[in-house]
Each structure stands twice: as structure tokens, then as C-alpha cells.
Amino acid sequence: MKLYIQNFSTYRSDRDEVNIKATLKKEYHLETRRQSEFIHLAVYGGQLLKDKISIDPSDALYMTSANGDIDVVQRSNTYVNKEKQAIKLFDFINLLGNTSSYYVAKSLGIHGKNIFQISNHFTYIHTLISLYSSLYHSQTNAILCAVDLAPNPEEIAQRVLGIEENTSLVSSVNYQKFSLQSKDAMAVLEFDTRSYTLEEMKTILASNRAKVHGSIRCKALLDNDETSFFETMPSAVLNEAMKQSNDIIYIDCYDEKYKILKLKNLR
């Protein structure tokens, strides 16, 4: 499968110091009341993309995340199970996945298909597969938002994500606008639905000439000194590669299964 990337945007809390809520209000003149920090993060990334490329109202919107709005989940759990109270109204509204995608779509002026999707690991790649299938039938364009909010405390998500306790979790939002057409594309992304074994991956890499990046979970295959992590990191690595005009292979891993993304720059 091939998808052409027309443009991208990226934000990482460990690299950029931004007061996101204030920026949305002052620079983009957007309403931020009654919205969670997770929604602010997703909307902010969308505005960064909108600054760089035209967005059509018919574009589809896909969103994915490791844990969604986990802070709201934790607060709601405290209300119900510990304090024996009802969930606050706007926490309940923000808890719904399609609330986040609604606010993003509204801020971008999108009226096309709008989907919030979370998979049990490989969530970015699985969402790419869904997005490709949608575009294949609709022949339109689509925007993919990959957003992760670092929870407090981090230990909760560290256990869920299967990473070591000394790994720092990062808040991040990354966007790409995809098309099935190569016109005006910055890069082409290739992927498939397969999961590979360790031995298959070693064979693939033996004949590879592109720069290889991988998840910190790929310890049996790659040396990686990365100390920070978010589940949708493949999206950020692809954006960085396009920024540097590098052709790369990205390898994601979980439970001894490997998946591959191949990026080739066209500019």
C-alpha cells in the first residue's frame, strides 16, 4: 500500500515550549473553554498543519492515540470509585473519543468522514491501513492526527504500554495530510498489513540501504538510546525525516512482532 504525504505538522513537549491553551486563544482565536488538555493538544497540531497547507472541507479526518484522554479517565475513576460521586458533565463529554475529533474537525472546517480510532498497540500503523482503505473507495484526501498526552502519574501508562519505568513519556501531536495521488506530494509512505518475525526482519535489513529507525521496544533488533516515548512516535519520526529530506525505514515492535513503514522523499 502507498500513501502520498502532501504536508505535515509536529509538536513534542520535550522539544517545544508552548502554552497551548493560550496560543489557541490568542493566535488562532479559538474557543478553549470546557475542553481538556488532550483536546487542546490535538487542535493545536491541526492549526499547525492548517498554517502549512490548504484543507478542504471534504477531507476525511482520522485520529489515533495510545490511551486517549487518560487524565479525564483517571479523574472520572476517582469520582465514581473513590469519592462515590457522579462524573462531571464536561469530563463525561470529553471522555468520548469523537468529542476530540469533533473539536479538531470544527477547528479545521472539515465536514467529511471523522473517525477516532485506538488499536491495541501498532495504533498508528493500523490507522494508516484504515485510512488507506477509506481513500481507496472515496478517492478523496485524508488528514491523520496522532496525539498522545503524557499522563500523571506516568507509571500507569508505562505499565499499559509495556515500557521500562525509566522511560520518560512525552506529550506529542503529529499530523499528515494524505492522498492516493502523487501530485504536489512531499513523500510517499509504503506499508502493509503483515507482522514480521525477528528473523524475517534481519533478512529484510540485510539488503536495506535506507536509514533505519525503530521503537525502543525493538531491542532484539536495533540499538536505540532513546529515553523518551509515546505510542504514536512513528508519526513523529516520519515528520522529522521529511523535515530533513531523509529516506527511512521505521520498525515498530510489540510482543515479538514487527511492522514496517518505508518513507521516500519526493522533494
Whole-number pLDDT of residue 80: 47
Residues 115, 13, single domain; the answer is yes
Whole-number pLDDT of residue 34: 82
Residues 238, 179, single domain; the answer is no
Q: Between residues 218 and 81, which one has the greater pLDDT?
A: 218
Residues 255, 148, single domain; the answer is no
Which pLDDT tens digit goes with each residue over 172-190? 999 999 999 999 999 999 9
Handedness of CA 217, 220, 222, 227 (dihedral sign): positive
User: Which of 40, 89, 232, 256 shows the shortest CA–CA distance to 147?
Assistant: 232
Please compute the mean of the pLDDT values over residues 138-161 and round it to a whole number: 77
Residue 180 sits in a domain whose CATH number is 3.40.47.10
Please compute the mean of the pLDDT values over residues 110-137 and round it to a whole number: 91
- 225 alpha-carbon distance from chain centroid: 22
128: left (phi over 0), alpha (psi -120 to 50) or beta: alpha
What domain range includes position 247? 188-265
Please compute the mean of the pLDDT values over residues 37-47 and round it to a whole number: 95
Residues 131, 166, single domain; the answer is yes
With H, G, I as helix, E, B as strand and everything else as coil, classify residue 143. strand
- What is the number of domains present in the chain? 2
Which pLDDT tens digit goes with each residue over 65-122? 887 666 555 554 454 455 555 555 445 444 555 788 889 999 999 998 999 888 878 9
230 pLDDT higher than 70: yes
Residues 157, 168, single domain; the answer is yes
Residue type, 182: S
Joined together, the cell numbers standing for residue 174 give: 503529529
Whole-number pLDDT of residue 79: 44
Whole-number pLDDT of residue 99: 82
Residues 236, 119, single domain; the answer is no
Last residue of a domain, one of 137, 163, 187: 187
Give 85's contacts (C-beta < 8 A, 6+ positions apart).
79
Which pLDDT tens digit goes with each residue over 19-28? 999 999 999 9
Last residue of a domain, one of 158, 187, 216: 187
Strands (E), the chain: 2-12, 60-64, 114-117, 142-148, 168-169, 172-179, 187-191, 211-214, 228-229, 248-254, 257-265
Buried b (16+ CB within 10 A) or exposed e, 126-148: bbbebbbebbeeeeebbbbbbbb
Joined together, the cell numbers standing for residue 211 give: 536509514
Please compute the mean of the pLDDT values over residues 131-144 and round it to a whole number: 93
Joined together, the cell numbers standing for residue 148 give: 498522545
Q: Between residues 34 and 164, which one has the greater pLDDT?
A: 34
Buried b (16+ CB within 10 A) or exposed e, 70-101: bbbeebbeebeeeeeeebeeebeebbebebbb
Q: Could you give the C-alpha distances from 187 to 109, 167, 180, 208, in angstroms and in order?
A: 25, 31, 12, 19
With H, G, I as helix, E, B as strand and everything else as coil, classify residue 173. strand
Residues 115, 213, single domain; the answer is no
* Mean model confidence pLDDT for the chain: 86
Whole-number pLDDT of residue 222: 87
Q: Could you give the C-alpha distances from 78 to 38, 73, 82, 167, in angstroms and in order?
A: 18, 9, 5, 26
Residues 14, 141, single domain; the answer is yes
Residues 55, 173, single domain; the answer is yes
Question: Which pTM was predicted?
Answer: 0.88
Q: Between residues 157 and 16, which one has the greater pLDDT?
A: 16
Residues 32, 108, single domain; the answer is yes
Joined together, the cell numbers standing for residue 79 give: 469520582
Whole-number pLDDT of residue 35: 85
Residues 182, 192, single domain; the answer is no
Q: How many beta carbons lie within 10 A of that of residue 178, not counting itself? A: 23
Last residue of a domain, one of 171, 187, 203: 187
63 pLDDT higher than 90: yes
Residues 23, 117, single domain; the answer is yes
Give the model's confidence band at 197: pLDDT under 50 very low, under 70 low, under 90 confident, else very high. very high
